[in-house]
Amino acid sequence: EAQVTQNPRYLITVTGKKLTVTCSQNMNHEYMSWYRQDPGLGLRQIYYSMNVEVTDKGDVPEGYKVSRKEKRNFPLILESPSPNQTSLYFCASSYSTGTSRYEQYFGPGTRLTVT
Amino acid sequence: QQQVKQSPQSLIVQKGGISIINCAYENTAFDYFPWYQQFPGKGPALLIAIRPDVSEKKEGRFTISFNKSAKQFSLHIMDSQPGDSATYFCAASRISGGGADGLTFGKGTHLIIQP
């Protein structure tokens, strides 16, 4: 089954404690992206990757890091989480050319709470 | 600066009625306009999309109407059903130019179809 998986699905942590949210896709997609979803603000892009070892900032990158060492994986790293990073996070993937790049497949989401 | 404005924030429609969600964009370089549907506890999923070379696209009960001069596009759901109850996001992007532009999302519309 073609899918994007994220782990963990739910996470409660404390300010300053480093954490990683994993994302993996099995569709051989080149393009991967992280979004955060907040009430009243919709979906905002954090980082994206056009392919292995190629990453770039989205609209709200502050406080986040990413890496793309393998095509299928795109982890999101919060080195020193703060309460304003409490949010619902989505990983997405797609092919990288033409309209296919915008036919993004989203993971099920990770609900993060930082206290 | 919000580049894609979506309205209404929430919408209640009776079963069998027509649901209409509107979006307006500012960037005239946008040339791809998808709609995503999100059910509770799930990631968004692509529903339907349109390019600006056509004024309307229909897929089953879902229709996108596009007005290039007004920089507006809308989603119409005909014969709305309780199973259509979800959050809908419009989005826009620029495909031409081969850049790495991501999707710019509207803030979402929470649609409830009453039986």
Predicted local distance difference test score (pLDDT) of residue A5: 97
Predicted local distance difference test score (pLDDT) of residue A97: 75
- Residues 38-97 on B with a CB inside 8 Å of A are 41-46, 49, 51, 89, 91, 93, 95
Which among B48, B23, B19 has a CA at the least distance from the CA of B34? B48
DSSP state of A113: E
Residue B26: band (very low, low, confident or very high) from pLDDT cuts 50, 70, 90:
very high
Residues 6+ apart with CB under 8 A from B99: none
Residue B23 to chain A, least CA–CA distance (Å) = 13
Taking residues A91-96, report their average pLDDT. 90
* Alpha helical stretches, state H, chain B: none
CA distance A38 to A27: 28
Residue B1 has pLDDT above 60, yes or no: no
Residue B53 has pLDDT above 80, yes or no: yes
Residues of B in contact with A108 (CB under 8 A): 41-43
Considering chain A, what percentage of its residues have pLDDT values greater than 70? 97
Which among A29, A1, A39, A14 has a CA at the least distance from the CA of A91? A29
- pLDDT tens-digit map of A51-68: 999 999 998 999 999 999
- pLDDT tens-digit map of B58-114: 999 999 999 999 999 999 999 999 999 999 999 998 876 555 567 889 999 999 999
Taking residues B45-62, report their average pLDDT. 93
Predicted local distance difference test score (pLDDT) of residue B109: 97
| Residue A16 touches chain B, beta carbons under 8 Å | no
Mean pLDDT estimate for chain A? 93
Probe site for chain B from A43, A101, A103 (most B CB atoms < 10 A): A43
Taking residues A2-6, report their average pLDDT. 93
| Residue A25 touches chain B, beta carbons under 8 Å | no
Q: Give the DSSP per-residue string, A54-105.
A: EEEE-S--TT-EE--SSTTB--EEESS--GGG-EEEEEEEE-SSGGGGGSPE
CA A111 to chain centroid: 12
